[in-house]
Chain A
Amino acid sequence: MLDVETIDSILAKFPQPKGNLIAILHEVQNHYRYLPEEELRYISKRTGVPITQIYSIVNFYNRFSLKPKGKHVICVCLGTACHVKGAEKVINEVKMKLNIDVGETTDDMKYTLEEVRCIGACSLAPAVVVDDTTYGKVTPKEMASILAKYK
């Protein structure tokens, strides 16, 4: 269902939507945690930006997602500092426990697994962000108990 009200209120913050499309998409994604197609079409209609142009942006930038996300987003850092400190094992633990690959969501829509290249918490490597909380110096064992906290 197209949620006109939400989009209108986001668009209202940008008197000049042209030139602020990336900012608008950030807000839309913050709200829905992904970019629903119907909403994107509506934005195109309202702003006059062709839908193809919107898609070219959405597809170029890694942060934008066209797929709905699970209730909890587990984001494992695979930046260099985390890589040399064994982030691979941490992400494998999540893959094994949840039986999903990077970019996938569990069938019950509970968890989405993502990877990121450095969140700037390198002194806490390996780092994992679940929703808005950053966990540092995560071992595979700890990863399992962190997962258990998010139901």
Chain B
Amino acid sequence: MGSTNDKEIVISVCTGTGGIAAGAFKVIDAFEEALEEHGLKAKFKSRTHKVGCRGFCAKDVLVDVAVGEDVVTYEFVTPEKAKAIVEKHLVGGEPVKKWLVKDDYHAFHTKQQRVVLHNCGRIDPESIDEYIATGGYKAARKAIFEMEPEEIIQEIKNSGLRGRGGGGFPTGIKWESCRRAAGTIKYVLCNADEGDPGAFMDRSIIEGNPHAVIEGMIIGAYAIGSHEGFVYIRAEYPLAVDRLRLALDQARERNFLGKNIFGSDFDFDIEIKLGAGAFVCGESTALMTSIEDKPGLPRPKYVHTTDKGLWGRPSNLNNVETWANVPLIIDRGADWYASIGSEQSKGTKIFSLVGKIKNTGLVEVPMGIPLKEIIFDIGGGIPKKKKFKAVQTGGPSGGCIPASLLDLPVDFENLSKAGSIMGSGGMIVMDEDTCMVDVAKYFVQFCVDEGCGQCTPCREGLYHMVKLLTDITEGRGTEEHIKLLEELSEVIIDTSLCGLGKTAPNPVLSTLRYFRDEYEAHIFDKKCPAGVCRELTTFVIDEKKCTGCTMCARNCPVGAITGEKKEPHLIDQSKCIKCRMCYEHCKFGAVLKM
């Protein structure tokens, strides 16, 4: 019986959204069956274990197989492989080397500092006991029994924690304003709306370690003097909603929520409020209006929400990741926390590294790490030997950072100096095949679709920006278009009602700042250098490079490509719909975009 002897066997399977989409539940069933079949269930302590997302979703289904202290990780596990792993590894005693994770998996983790995500991928998010076993709820007890509310606020201030939802506002100061605000009924709110398209940090925290968010909110509520909390979460995240609901029930059962929590004289409970697909509801005043059961319209912020927020009462809103940082700070102290990160941005930040990058997934890094290390060391660089062009951060409110700034330390200050923002942590990597004018248009269109329609600059101004950008991408652009775009941007930023409009022109301004040449190529040469804008691109086949492998012809959806096997092929321009399929399928670089 090889190495297994009488050691405990634990098979941990990733059941985050990525894992499930890749077939995690079928893999678990296969493991269970195989364990049973080989009699391992009866002979040893052996079990499968559902864990949250560990970040490297591109390799899913990821499985840790632990035999006693020895742990190995398998990638791309399927039900068939699961059976073979039980046979060869657990019965045979030899791990199946060819299916183990490779160097890229280790490189992905080396430069990360997983503090907030530490438990994600290790514990079963549906088990409160596993959270408690890792020290969970210790910080909340400490806060309630050993600390005064003011002391907690001071600790959070000392830690330097700043909001992770976008703005980077110092969390301790916000709490203090809310504590000092007049009124006896106050609310603590958690923003789990995660509207930034391309970001999924908050989702993974809630799916992988929901109790950390609950514990953070308990501490915050105690410090602020609130007895009622709400989590506003988007309905597009059904798994996260289910796990959060379960975690809240478990916490209530243990009396960690409800009346006299932990046996103290402090009452606090949390309710879930579902969003319904409106991006603007991530904005603080709109979010509160939505919890009040109305259309989520933002309002001007002459009066801070810490004074008059939800139902006109003092309300403290923080992002999911902000809340998840709180127990760590109370548990390990502000000094420990402040030792991580850069001068004015403390702690770690989680990014979702997606787009044209080899290792897509969630990464947690210390603030201030050079952008280059995130993209090339952790992310493994750009696939298919393409050139890095830009990385977009901050979603629709953010900007694009070009290759010349790859040395930039990633923190609040430096990103904003570079014309972007930290945002919630989406990092969308773009390569030479991405058109920056198209990206700018994409984001402005997004804000047009998602705007609430209350204020004119945002409603009309952004609409006209899209029109101007469309002119440019369709070959009708003139020099005047750029001037108008810049003028409109200025007015919209200055005069919009809420953060959506005030930041919506950023993607245009930042692409104009770093990629003006691309705009000019569209306008003056009537060419899209990336070959994205259909009206400005022609695909042709380079006869010298074409081997006649027929790959392009087979993948052309409209039959525009002809040619004999082993002979150069030809594209019929009158039929071509510029879908790029030939360009993407050619292995010899013979399809050129002109």
Q: Are B274 and A80 in contact (CB under 8 A)?
A: no
- Are A121 and B355 CB-contacts (below 8 A) given A60-B295, A80-B426? no
Q: Are A125 and B276 in contact (CB under 8 A)?
A: no
Q: Are B293 and A20 in contact (CB under 8 A)?
A: yes
Q: Are B200 and A22 in contact (CB under 8 A)?
A: no
A124 contact set on B, CB distance < 8 A: 18, 21-22, 57
A31 contact set on B, CB distance < 8 A: none
B211 contact set on A, CB distance < 8 A: none
- Are A121 and B557 CB-contacts (below 8 A) given A22-B276, A134-B20? no
* CB of A10, distance to nearest CB on chain B (Å): 14
B446 contact from A59, A60, A117, A140, Cβ within 8 A? A117
Q: Is the interface on chain B under 10, 10 to 19, 20 to 34, or 35 or more residues?
A: 35 or more
B502 contact set on A, CB distance < 8 A: none
Cβ-based interface call for A36 (8 A): no
- Are A80 and B18 CB-contacts (below 8 A) given A63-B276, A118-B197? no
- Are A123 and B276 CB-contacts (below 8 A) given A79-B198, A80-B392, A134-B17? no
B26-44 Cβ-contact flags toward A at 8 Å (1 or 0): 0000000000000000000
A16 to B294: give the CA distance in the assembly, Å. Answer: 16
Q: Is the interface on chain A under 10, 10 to 19, 20 to 34, or 35 or more residues?
A: 35 or more
- Are A118 and B199 CB-contacts (below 8 A) given A60-B278, A84-B356? yes
Cβ-based interface call for B279 (8 A): yes
A56 contact set on B, CB distance < 8 A: 294-295
* CB of B472, distance to nearest CB on chain A (Å): 18
Q: Are A63 and B235 in contact (CB under 8 A)?
A: yes
**Interface of chain A residues 119 through 147 with chain B (CB within 8 A):** 119-125, 127, 134-136, 140-141
A59 contact set on B, CB distance < 8 A: 295
* CB of B188, distance to nearest CB on chain A (Å): 18
- Are A140 and B557 CB-contacts (below 8 A) given A21-B293, A80-B442? yes
A62 to B540: give the CA distance in the assembly, Å. Answer: 42
Cβ-based interface call for B298 (8 A): no
A89 contact set on B, CB distance < 8 A: 579-581
**Interface of chain A residues 10 through 48 with chain B (CB within 8 A):** 18-23, 25-26
Q: Are B439 and A117 in contact (CB under 8 A)?
A: no
Q: Are B197 and A81 in contact (CB under 8 A)?
A: yes
A124 to B439: give the CA distance in the assembly, Å. Answer: 20
B22 contact set on A, CB distance < 8 A: 124, 136
A51-86 Cβ-contact flags toward B at 8 Å (1 or 0): 000001101111110000000000000111101111
Look across to chain A and name the residue whose beta carbon is closest to the beta carbon of B194.
A120
Q: Are A123 and B18 in contact (CB under 8 A)?
A: yes
Residue from B22, B197, B290, B450 with most neighbouring chain A CB atoms (10 Å)? B197
Cβ-based interface call for A116 (8 A): yes
Q: Are B197 and A80 in contact (CB under 8 A)?
A: yes
Q: Are B439 and A84 in contact (CB under 8 A)?
A: yes
Cβ-based interface call for B395 (8 A): yes
A107-121 Cβ-contact flags toward B at 8 Å (1 or 0): 000000000111111
Residue from A116, A124, A135 with most neighbouring chain B CB atoms (10 Å)? A124
B579 contact set on A, CB distance < 8 A: 89, 92
B450 contact set on A, CB distance < 8 A: 117
Look across to chain A and name the residue whose beta carbon is closest to the beta carbon of B20.
A134
Look across to chain B and name the residue whose beta carbon is closest to the beta carbon of A119.
B236
**Interface of chain B residues 249 through 280 with chain A (CB within 8 A):** 273-279
A118 contact set on B, CB distance < 8 A: 195-200, 236
A116 to B235: give the CA distance in the assembly, Å. Answer: 12
Q: Are A122 and B200 in contact (CB under 8 A)?
A: yes
Look across to chain B and name the residue whose beta carbon is closest to the beta carbon of A64.
B276
Cβ-based interface call for B58 (8 A): yes
B356 contact set on A, CB distance < 8 A: 84-85
Q: Are A121 and B198 in contact (CB under 8 A)?
A: no
Q: Are A26 and B17 in contact (CB under 8 A)?
A: no
Cβ-based interface call for B305 (8 A): no
- Are A122 and B295 CB-contacts (below 8 A) given A61-B276, A83-B442, A135-B21? no
B293 contact from A19, A116, A121, A134, Cβ within 8 A? A19
Cβ-based interface call for B174 (8 A): no
* CB of A88, distance to nearest CB on chain B (Å): 9
Residue from B18, B204, B293 with most neighbouring chain A CB atoms (10 Å)? B293
Q: Are A120 and B236 in contact (CB under 8 A)?
A: yes
Q: Are B428 and A81 in contact (CB under 8 A)?
A: yes
Look across to chain B and name the residue whose beta carbon is closest to the beta carbon of A59.
B295
Q: Are A123 and B194 in contact (CB under 8 A)?
A: no
**Interface of chain B residues 189 through 217 with chain A (CB within 8 A):** 194-200, 203-204
A125 to B446: give the CA distance in the assembly, Å. Answer: 18
Cβ-based interface call for B314 (8 A): no
Residue from A56, A79, A141 with most neighbouring chain B CB atoms (10 Å)? A79
Cβ-based interface call for B296 (8 A): yes
A26 to B235: give the CA distance in the assembly, Å. Answer: 9
Cβ-based interface call for B434 (8 A): yes
B198 contact from A19, A21, A122, A140, Cβ within 8 A? A122
Q: Are B199 and A122 in contact (CB under 8 A)?
A: yes
Q: List 23 A-B contacts (CB under 8 A).
A: A19-B292, A22-B293, A60-B297, A63-B236, A64-B276, A80-B197, A85-B355, A89-B580, A89-B581, A117-B195, A118-B236, A120-B17, A120-B200, A121-B57, A121-B200, A122-B198, A122-B354, A123-B360, A123-B361, A124-B18, A127-B21, A136-B22, A140-B557
User: Given known contacts A22-B276, A80-B392, A122-B199, what 9 new A-B pairs fall within 8 Å (CB)?
Assistant: A62-B278, A84-B428, A86-B580, A118-B195, A118-B196, A119-B17, A123-B58, A124-B18, A134-B17
The 10 closest A-B pairs by CB, nearest first: A79-B197, A61-B276, A60-B295, A120-B200, A63-B277, A80-B198, A62-B277, A123-B57, A118-B197, A123-B360
